[in-house]
Amino acid sequence: MRLADLGDLPPTLSTEQAAEVLGCGVDHLWKLAREGGAPVEPLRLGHRLRWPTVAVLRSIGIDPEVGEVQAPATVVPMRREADG
């Protein structure tokens, strides 16, 4: 999928579409969803999952409202002060 194609995405994505955007396999994304470790919380509709497009895009550093690619937030571990 090209960056130019992202503007044509529907409001929610199928698991196949979300996996393509996230760059992982469908089975892996299903596993993450089952274990609660997916980068985005899916919407559960019976046995189907739908993935909010805006949340999926933001999880990879794309803000669709701005139309720009931004670096994803990183977690920096806190330093412990040396014992005096």
| CATH, residue 29 | 1.10.10
For the chain, the domain total comes to 1
- Give the pLDDT of the chain (84 residues) as one tens digit per residue: 666 677 788 999 999 999 999 999 999 999 999 999 999 999 999 989 999 999 999 999 888 776 555 555 554 455 555 544
Residue 39 forms part of a structural domain: yes
* Tally of CB atoms within 10 A around 71: 6
CA torsion, points 42, 45, 46, 50, in degrees to nearest 10? -50
Domain that holds residue 24: 3-69
Residue 16 forms part of a structural domain: yes
Which class for 19: exposed (0-12), middle (13-18), buried (19 or more C-beta within 10 A)?
Answer: buried
Instruction: Record the pTM.
Output: 0.72
* Residue 12 CB contacts under 8 Å (≥ 6 apart), including other chains: 43, 50, 51, 52, 53
